[in-house]
């Protein structure tokens, strides 16, 4: 119910907005968004590694496979302490020939298949993600979950 003030002429044009249809439209939009939002949200699981304490001893049989992305676009494959320079174009071949057998040997021992990715500070993020995608492409399962790709943590430098 609206109250009009102004001229007493009933035939004059009213400039009031009828809010009932506006509220109806807003309620319909609210219901649509409430129904659509759970459908649009996709659950993505994120595994955060636990912090290793100083009293824990690392597995002596574990191999640490690392691929470092350099500013020049080339990469360095590190197996424990042995560095192997790799051209960016040769990365898929090197991954199939040398990394995949080591990952399968780790799976045979019951270890997780993990490759760490490290990068220099000036490397564009797209190059790092591209290297990670090529590593995940080694996996044969549909979700590419059998091979885990992790970013290598850097030790904080004391100042």
The pLDDT score that the predictor gives to residue 94 is: 82
114, 62 in Cβ contact below 8 A? no
Describe the strand order of the beta sheet including 75-79 as a list of residue ranges.
Answer: 82-86, 75-79, 65-69, 114-119, 148-151
Residue 26, pLDDT score: 95
User: Taking a C-beta distance cutoff of 8 angstroms, is the pair 62, 73 a contact?
Assistant: no
The string of pLDDT tens digits covering residues 48-83 is 766 766 666 656 666 678 889 999 888 988 887 788
pLDDT of residue 46: 66
pLDDT value of position 158: 64
Mean pLDDT by 10 residues, the chain (159 residues): 59 79 94 86 68 65 80 86 83 82 76 82 88 82 73 71
Alpha helices in the chain (DSSP H): 19-40, 91-94, 100-108, 125-136
pTM: 0.57
Q: Which two tokens stand for residue 96?
A: 């199939």
* Domain 65-151: CATH class, spelled out: alpha beta
- DSSP letter, residue 123: S
């Amino acid at each position: 119910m609206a109250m009009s003030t102004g001229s007493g002429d009933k035939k004059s044009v009213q400039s009031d907005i009828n809010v009932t249809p506006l509220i109806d439209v807003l309620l319909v939009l609210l219901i649509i968004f409430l129904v659509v939002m759970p459908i649009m949200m996709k659950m993505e699981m994120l595994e955060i590694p636990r912090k290793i304490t100083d009293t824990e001893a690392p597995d002596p049989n574990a191999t640490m496979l690392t691929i470092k992305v350099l500013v020049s676009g080339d990469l360095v494959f590190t197996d424990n302490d042995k560095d192997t320079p790799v051209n960016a174009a040769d990365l898929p071949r090197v991954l199939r020939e040398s990394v995949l057998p080591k990952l399968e040997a780790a799976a045979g021992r019951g270890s997780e298949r993990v490759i760490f990715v490290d990068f220099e500070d000036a490397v564009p993020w797209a190059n790092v993600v591209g290297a990670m995608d090529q590593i995940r492409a080694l996996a044969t399962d549909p979700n590419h979950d059998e091979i885990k790709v992790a970013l290598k943590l850097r030790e904080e430098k004391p100042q």
